[in-house]
Chain A
Amino acid sequence: MKTKKLLYVSLLIAFSLILSYIETFIPAIPIPGAKLGLASIATLLSLYLFDLKTSFTVVSLRIILSAFIFTNFTALIYSLSGGLVSLIAMYLAIKLAKDNLSIIGVSIIGAIFHNMAQLSAAVFVLGTVSIVSLTPWLLFLGIITGIFTGLTAKYVLKYSHIKKQADKFYNK
């Protein structure tokens, strides 16, 4: 059973790496800090299928690997802050409000926290607060990208067999 779980987690990391790669082909949104966030589909899946510890592994490995393969060290600071803050925000959202929130709401929360964390990291790295004026656009974009990734994750959970397999690890 342990080997099987390892297999699924590795697949999730590979899946999120590919999504990060595909995202580099999509024209950039002309606002620093904003991203389509395709890779957060994998974060959402791991949160819903596995526990926080496993999700943490998926997110941090994806970010570190993609920084080495596709981008550079500066991008790593932004991605790590965005990725980890959004992971924690989504985990808390599931823990505290599972009955009132669907995966779409959780995903929106994750996207918004991701954008805000990247903006904060940019304020820190660039040493200026003037870019805070981008906040409204980052919030609007967070809603849109959050709905998109949330819907995708929802249908993956609904139509793939991965949920049934993952539930076995926790004897649900």
Chain B
Amino acid sequence: MKKGDKLIIIIVAAVALIALGIILITASDANNKAVSITVDQKPYMTMSLNKDTTLTVATQYGSNTIQIKDGSVKVTSADCPDKICVHTKAAHKVGDIIVCLPHRLIITIEKAE
């Protein structure tokens, strides 16, 4: 490795750490949280994170089964090719996000009004 290589690693790691810090500092958690589901830029459904439930979001892009349990939400199964949404760890804080790119599906946790 040359000097420039190390410089790049240090700069990128520093930027990533600062960005992570900003995200952690600005993240606020609330007691009343809502799960918001968006498909292809349009709101699909919003529900409380405190009520356990399981639902399947089936759209023209494919289907994802979403489970809300013990104050956290996760995708338990999906028919997308990469299964990244299924492998993403359960979301429970405000701002947590689960994405299924092939199905244009986004699950976010928001502060409930």
Q: Do A and B come from one complex?
A: yes
Decide yes or no: A75 and B3 within 8 Å by CB, A130-B108, A131-B106, A136-B17 being known contacts: no
Shortest Cβ distance from B85 into chain A, in angstroms? 8
Residue A142 CB within 8 A of the other chain = yes
Residue of A nearest to B104 (CB): A126
- B16 contacts across to A, CB distance below 8 A: 135-137, 139-140
Bin chain B's interface residue count: 20 to 34
Instruction: Tell me the chain A residues, 111-158 only, with Cβ under 8 Å from chain B.
Output: 112, 122, 125-128, 130-131, 133-137, 139-140, 142-143, 147
Pick the residue among A30, A100, A101, A131 that contacts B84 (CB under 8 A). A30
B residues adjacent to A (C-beta < 8 A): 1-5, 7-9, 12-13, 15-17, 19-20, 23, 38, 40-41, 81-84, 87-89, 95, 97, 99, 101-102, 104, 106, 108
New A-B pairs, 8, CB < 8 Å, besides A74-B101, A137-B16, A140-B16: A28-B87, A74-B102, A101-B2, A102-B1, A105-B5, A105-B8, A112-B12, A126-B38
